[in-house]
Amino acid sequence: MPQGNCKCGGADCGPVGAVGFFRATNHGVPAALADALEARAAAFFAMPLADKLEHASARPLGYGNKSIGSNGDVGWLEYLLLSVSSGHGSFSLPPSLRAALDEYTAAVREVGGRVLELMADGLGLDRTALRRMVQVAGSDELVRVNHYPACPLASGVTGFGEHTDPQVVSVLRSNRTGGLQIMLRDGRWVPVAPDPSSLFINVGDSLQVLTNGRFRSVKHRVVAPEAGQHSRLSVIYFGGPAPSQRIAPLPELLRDGEQSLYRDFTWGEYKNAAYKTRLGDNRLGPFEIPTAGMEPSNSDHHCSAIAAVQPPPPPPHVGQVY
């Protein structure tokens, strides 16, 4: 970011560990906005379940509890999922929460847009080439507030099962409670040290396709806090395109003779296909074009019931860029 830093922390920035995930500091989103949202969201999640369920009518948008998507994925969490573009959807929220969400989302959306401009610059594209796909009338931008209470009875419980984010880019902030883990290219899971003053940027599946695999979406998951730990609260902005947006490797990026790794699809088609799958499935699998000498990627990863996740090995490096 022009006035910020995207730090690269050494060994894990190399070819083995380079995945589409980094931490942005000095991003310009005032801490007061995030703090206000965190307080309002905590008050919302502290309400009786019956009151919260009144906000669950707009599925898949609205309030959700333990169930993620409609295909049986569960996690130890509750959440609010809202559309940014359509004014957070049609259901009512406490006005103070809505106002805090609006203000925070506008600020973090700007960070997402600027990250996309810098990525486009770095790729030698027109500066607006990526941003204009997701920050345009009709685009499918979402904001999600996840609340993971401490699990009193067990440790290592799945809060949010492993997955990649389907959109172009995601911008995440959490409170001081950890739990987020990402998978390095060699399959190792590493914890991400929580840092409420930073924003964590994820490459989504759509950006992987647009760059023909130059930028890779990163698998991530969340382990719920244990008894005695504070709840984890995270807020994520997802930059997704308009349903009619064609998702295909950008021709400007393809070198002479370079084959597209994916067949063309629209964001609407991808979303429809993704909603029929499980969270941990390789949702790009059906769109991959097998290339000579390359196995199609494995698409039978499932992360289903609330279950203990394999504890990660000691982290080789924590908290910066992976």
Ligand X SMILES: O=C(O)CCC(=O)C(=O)O
Q: Give the strands of the sheet with 232-239, arranged side by side.
A: 5-6, 21-25, 199-203, 169-174, 232-239, 142-148, 73-83, 62-68
Least separation in angstroms between CB 290 and Fe ion: 27
Q: Does 220 bind ligand X (CB under 6 A)?
A: yes
Give the nearest residue (CB) to Fe ion. Answer: 165
Closer by beta carbon to ligand X, 12 or else 73: 73
Q: Which helix (H) or strand (E) holds 39?
A: helix 31-45
Q: Which amino acid is at 96?
A: S
Burial class (CB in 10 A: 0-12, 13-18, 19+), 247: buried
Which H or E run includes 177?
none
Among 12, 73, 165, 205, binds Fe ion (CB under 5 A): 165
Nearer to ligand X, 130 or 180 (CB): 180
- Name the nearest CA neighbour of 146 among 112, 174, 188: 174
Cβ neighbour number for residue 172 with a 10 Å cutoff:
23
From candidates 45, 63, 160, 267, binder to ligand X by CB under 6 A: 160
Strands (E), 90-191: 142-148, 158-163, 169-174, 180-183, 189-191
Asked whether position 281 contacts Fe ion by CB under 5 A, the answer is: no
Is there a contact between 316 and 191 (Cβ–Cβ < 8 Å)? no
Q: Is 205 in the site for Fe ion (CB under 5 A)?
A: no
From candidates 234, 245, 282, 320, binder to ligand X by CB under 6 A: 234
Report in angstroms how near the CB of residue 93 gets to ligand X at its nearest.
Answer: 18
Picked from Fe ion, ligand X, none, the partner binding residue 174 (CB below 5 to 8 A depending on kind) is ligand X
What does 144 interact with, of Fe ion, ligand X, none (CB < 5 to 8 A by kind)? ligand X
Task: Find which of ligand X, Fe ion, none residue 180 binds, CB within 5 to 8 Å per kind.
Answer: ligand X
Sign of the Cα pseudo-torsion (73, 76, 80, 81, in order): negative
Please tell me whether residue 206 binds ligand X under the rule CB under 6 A. Answer: no
Q: Choose from ligand X, Fe ion, none: what does 38 bind? Cβ within 5-8 Å by kind.
A: none
Which region among 13-21, 161-169, 179-187, 292-300 touches Fe ion (by CB under 5 A)?
161-169
Q: In a 10 Å sphere around its CB, with 0-12 CB exposed, 13-18 middle and 19+ buried, how is residue 222 labelled? A: buried
- The SS3 assignment for 148 reads strand
Q: Which is nearer to ligand X, 109 or 249 (CB)?
A: 109
Q: How far is the CB of 179 from Fe ion (least distance, A)?
A: 12
Is residue 174 within the footprint of ligand X (CB under 6 A)? Answer: yes
Footprint of ligand X on this chain (CB under 6 A)? 144, 146, 160, 165, 172, 174, 180, 220, 222, 234, 236
